[in-house]
Amino acid sequence: MTATFAHEPPVGRVLRALVIGSDAAAVRLAGEAIDAAGARVAGTADPGDAAALDGAVDLVMLEAEALDDATLDELLPRLAQRSRAMRARVIVALGQAQIDPVSRHLLGGEVDLLCAPDVAQRMLAIMLARSSRLAVVGESSREADRLRRMNEEVARIAEALARLAERGPAAPGENVVSDRRPGYRAAEVAPGAIVEARDLRDAIRSRRLRDQYIPGGLFEDPAWDMLLDLFAADLEGGRVSVSSLCIAAAVAPTTALRWIGRMTEAGLLGRAPDPDDRRRAFVMLTPPTRQALLDYCTAAKRQGLPIA
């Protein structure tokens, strides 16, 4: 498949999309999703066509599931660079085995990674890109509301951890001005509590046990699940890849990838390349986030409370 572009001028404020892929069926599926979302396919291209990324488009949609690692290694850095230069949104349809090689180059910001998506998931991602890029008023969906709440929750977590890192654990009686809250306060025990990785692993096991008895995603909390897993790995001296962190999130991979991207943007998480495997990157807690988690877990242990 060689690069082809539609030459008619855009109608109104229609979002223009470039589809990149080697599998004709996947490219056709992407085109159907783009049309259904109210956007327009401005062109299609082979992954190896370097000139394809020179066109002016609003959205680049990469159908990556049929691509091998060598092709991704060559294409993704160019795509990341050109999408930033064009200020274009990027949507990547990928397989679960491709999470690490793709997220090493593309994660967060104007990128949406969809793990084994169907047409409806592609269409929703395009509609969100269209709304963001073209500021379409009144266009909403449950997915848009969920992503908005996700952004708000990440911002809230980042702010709370930043305050905790700056102040350290609250002294007895120290509080912000607020209404008096009824509740149980455990007696202080001797200082010097040591937080161990098994404390975090026990908390994670308890949360997964709860999910077995109360299913349906009622208690889904991927941000906290990922923070606990990363802190446990930190205390163990281990490292966590993006794909492993998606598993720890206990939600669908596409949802986990969105959380990782937004938490990275918020300064909660950092990334570093794997020196032994150039196809993947490790995720770690940033120093302020690590300190805030250490302060919280230490305070919980000093009061004889479980880490929840």
| Cα–Cα distance for residue pair 97/83, rounded to 1 Å | 24
Is residue 135 over pLDDT 50?
no
Residue 142 reports pLDDT greater than 80:
no
> Phi, psi (5° rounding) for residue 58?
-95, -25
Residue at 190: amino acid letter:
A
Report the alpha-carbon angle 13-30-243, nearest 5.
110
Q: What is the C-alpha to C-alpha distance for residues 112 and 129, in angstroms, rounded to an integer?
A: 9
The CATH class for the domain spanning 144-166+191-302 reads mainly alpha
pTM: 0.77
pLDDT per position as a tens digit, 94-133: 999 999 999 999 998 889 999 999 999 999 999 888 776 5
Q: How would you write 96-156 as a 3-class SS string?
A: HHHHHHHHCCCCCCCEEEEECCCHHHHHHHHHHHHHHHHCCCCCCCHHHHHHHHHHHHHHH
How far is the C-alpha of 261 from the C-alpha of 257, rounded, in Å? Answer: 6
**279 or 225: which leads in pLDDT:** 225
Distance CA 265, CA 273 (A): 17
Least confident of 70-74, 174-178, 184-188, 225-229: 174-178
Q: Where are the domains of the chain?
A: 4-134, 144-166+191-302
The rounded distance, in Å, linking the Cα atoms of 279 and 281 is 7
Over residues 274-286, the pLDDT tens digits come to: 998 888 899 999 9
pLDDT over threshold 70, residue 195:
yes
Kindly report, residue by residue over 282-302, the tens digit of the pLDDT. Answer: 999 999 999 999 999 999 999
Range from 69-73, 157-161, 283-287 carrying the lowest mean pLDDT: 157-161
Burial of 55 (0-12, 13-18, 19+ CB in 10 A): middle
CA count, 13 A, side-chain hemisphere, 227: 26
Q: Please name the CATH architecture into which domain 4-134 falls.
A: 3-Layer(aba) Sandwich (3.40)
pLDDT of residue 174: 45
Give the tokens for residue 197.
């990785």
